[in-house]
Chain A
Amino acid sequence: MADGLRLRTALDKAYRPLQGEFLTTVLVELTPPRALTRLPLNLGLLLDTSESMNGEKLRRAREAATALIAALSPQDLVTLVVFNSEARTLLHSAPAGAATEQQAAEALRHLAAEGVTSLLPGIESIFYEVSRHAGPDRTSFVLLLSDGYPTTVNGYVDEDRDPYVRRVDREMHERGISLTCIGLGDAANYDQGFLRRLADSGNGQFLYCPELTDLTAQFGAEFARIQRTVLNEVTLTARHLGGEVRRLWRVYPEKKLFDDLDLRGDALSVPLGTFQEGQPQAYLLDIVTPEPPAAQPGRARLLEVEATWLDEGRARQATVPVVYELTDNERALAQRNPEVVRLATECIDALLEEQLESAVSGGDRARQTAVLARKKQLTKRLGKVEATRVLEEMEATLDQGGQITQDALARSSQATRPTERLG
């Protein structure tokens, strides 16, 4: 059995005062070992073939899908589903190889772009195919490519998108199937916030691909990332909580705020999905502890962090207790861990990005200006040159009486979401 996940924790403040409620931010970093074996893939490709994909987009999608299927190993499984007014399974889940490659190429060659963007049946079909082979010994992943708003079968834009997110979330929780979404073309034509929510629910990534010529490379990069998966069904549990969990973020490699926390008694459990070789993940947990019953200096347990995962079919775990110290020493209380503070700053930057998107969609210009100013302060402090430049462009647009475009928002999001490698 190989070495397991390594757990590291740190607090933004190692001390807390003797009186009052107090918020402590806990960093939990999980690092997979390098020696683990890569797992075979159980891959699903879900392609939008609605009318808006006609022409260059469909040609590029064909190319990217063909190249990806050709890159699979014989032990991998692949399935291909397309959706427009209805969903069609072009290739049922089958082992990769020359025969499968040929079958997929043939089906893709005769593909036409027509109809509306009926995404939900597509999601149902692809999960049906992939879930038949999902399990701890395979990396189950779905790649979704779309260029438009999801519609009902009648062609109206489907405003109720929660069922899509719930479906993806359920597959992630129950079957461990991850989902990555690729938005193709002009961001004004699709709902990037929705695709990002889907990807977040599926513990995958949202990839913004405005240039059609980049699509094959985007597929390739995501495929390379998925291929490096070495651990499945990783779960993070915080137990013996000494206070109320206020918020949980994934902060590295990309920011994600967890919406619905599964709190049971004094324990919080979160499925983290897959881990890739050489790719640590870091999480921030905000905990508000109540006033200590006795105002006495000394050490106290804040929580216990536990990671569980499957290794060659066997359940494994690692546990780390997290303690802090109660004191009235003001110098000690003023200490901050710069690494945790920086990561918390990254999270607030991501939160402001969401506020900016909300202000733009609501047409509230005063709020857009105020959020932009605050966000720019943070991106400058974080040394994010590209993100700051995009924000300054947006400020100039507003100053000139213009509107912030979806494309500018997408670029800002792309510059905001990733977090630089931990120190």
Chain B
Amino acid sequence: MRCPECGQTNVAGSLFCERCGADLSAVQPAADPPPPGWSCPHCDHGNPAANVVCEACGQRPAGSPPPSSPPDPVAEPAGPARLVEAAGVRLPDPAEAIAVATTPGQLATGPRKGKVKLIVEQGMVIGKQYLLTADEMLVGREDASEQFVPDIDLTGLDEGYVHRRHARLTFEGSFLFVTHLGGHNRTFVNNRPIADHLAHPLNVGDAVRFGKVVLRLVEAT
């Protein structure tokens, strides 16, 4: 039984999500078959029914309506809260939107260079850590033929779903941004795909997924 809020898989019969405490009554009754889900027509990845875009490649299922009034991501102003809408994907509910939006307090307490790290939560080597120490870091996988090694090298962690130049992490003051560099396998923040070539703000506690590798941004102690 999958939590519609955080994606955690819970034992059938659970009243609340084990991880986030969300009410699972909408996912009941327990006798119901699991949500049918859908298979992505582009990459064949199996998605839970709640997903409106493929969690692996970011494409929409066949026959689904396009997002209403699709915004032009390039034309959008670069305010962090706007970027959530600019991605043209499912909008968070108001409570989540508050969590994503930047508040004055976050300006003072945002992620700082050398003070935060990414820890692998899902991937081939769970627990591997990357301390974020540079103003700009490329995330991807190694290409031996071109002698190319990204700053955050996810080679061997992902079974081939990470691009060589997958995303870029950038510190700007007390902000940390992640930018997807346009590859077919997407970058996700808190289980939602982000727009191509647009900086998306990250907060401590966020889960970032490159292809199939999930990393959590935490404070370095």
Contacts and interface: CB of A to CB of B under 8 A. Distances in A.
Interface of A: 12-13, 16-17, 20-25, 246, 288, 328-330, 333-334, 336, 341, 344-345, 348, 351-352, 355, 362-367, 369-370, 373-374, 377-378, 398-403
Contacts of B29: 330, 333-334
Contacts of A348: 15-16, 21
Given A365-B109, A374-B95, A399 B103 contact: yes
Interface in B1-54: 5, 10-16, 20-23, 25, 28-32
A44 to B, nearest CB: 38
A341 B14 CA distance: 11
B109 A330 contact: no
Given A12-B15, A288-B11, A373-B98, A17 B31 contact: yes
The residue among A23, A334, A378 with the most chain B CB atoms within 10 A of its own CB is: A23
B204 A344 contact: no
A15 B177 CA distance: 49
Given A365-B109, A369-B98, A373-B98, A21 B103 contact: no
Nearest to A12: B15
Interface residues of B, number: 34
A22 B12 contact: yes
B205 A330 contact: no
B7 to A, nearest CB: 14
A333 B99 contact: no
A21 B204 contact: no
A364 B98 CA distance: 13
Contacts of B106: 365-366
Nearest to A333: B31
Nearest to A288: B11
B77 interface: no
Contacts of A345: 15-16, 23
B105 interface: yes
A339 to B, nearest CB: 13
A258 to B, nearest CB: 16
Pairs A-B, 8 closest by C-beta atoms: A373-B95, A333-B31, A334-B29, A401-B104, A23-B13, A401-B105, A366-B203, A330-B31
B109 A363 contact: yes
A378 to B, nearest CB: 8
A399 B99 CA distance: 10
A237 B5 CA distance: 35
Interface of B: 5, 10-16, 20-23, 25, 28-32, 94-96, 98-100, 103-106, 109, 203-206, 219
Nearest to B203: A366
A22 B13 contact: yes
Contacts of A373: 94-96, 98-99
A398 to B, nearest CB: 7
B25 to A, nearest CB: 8
A310 to B, nearest CB: 36
Contact of B32 (A330, A341, A362): A330
A21 B21 contact: no
B165 to A, nearest CB: 28
B51 to A, nearest CB: 20
Contacts of A398: 103, 105
Nearest to A349: B21
Contact of B12 (A23, A352, A367): A23
A345 B17 CA distance: 11
Contact of B99 (A367, A400, A402): A367
Nearest to A334: B29
A250 B104 CA distance: 40
Contacts of B206: 366
B28 A370 contact: no
B99 A370 contact: yes
Contacts of A22: 11-13, 30
A336 to B, nearest CB: 8
B13 A16 contact: yes
Nearest to B95: A373
A365 B103 contact: yes
Given A334-B28, A344-B16, A401-B103, A364 B11 contact: no
Contacts of A377: 23
B70 to A, nearest CB: 27
A25 B10 CA distance: 14
Given A333-B29, A401-B103, 18 more contacts: A13-B30, A17-B12, A23-B12, A24-B13, A328-B31, A330-B32, A334-B31, A345-B15, A351-B21, A352-B21, A364-B203, A366-B99, A366-B205, A367-B99, A370-B99, A374-B20, A378-B23, A400-B104
Contacts of A20: 12
11 contacts: A13-B30, A17-B12, A23-B12, A334-B30, A336-B28, A344-B15, A344-B16, A365-B105, A373-B95, A377-B23, A399-B98
Nearest to B28: A334
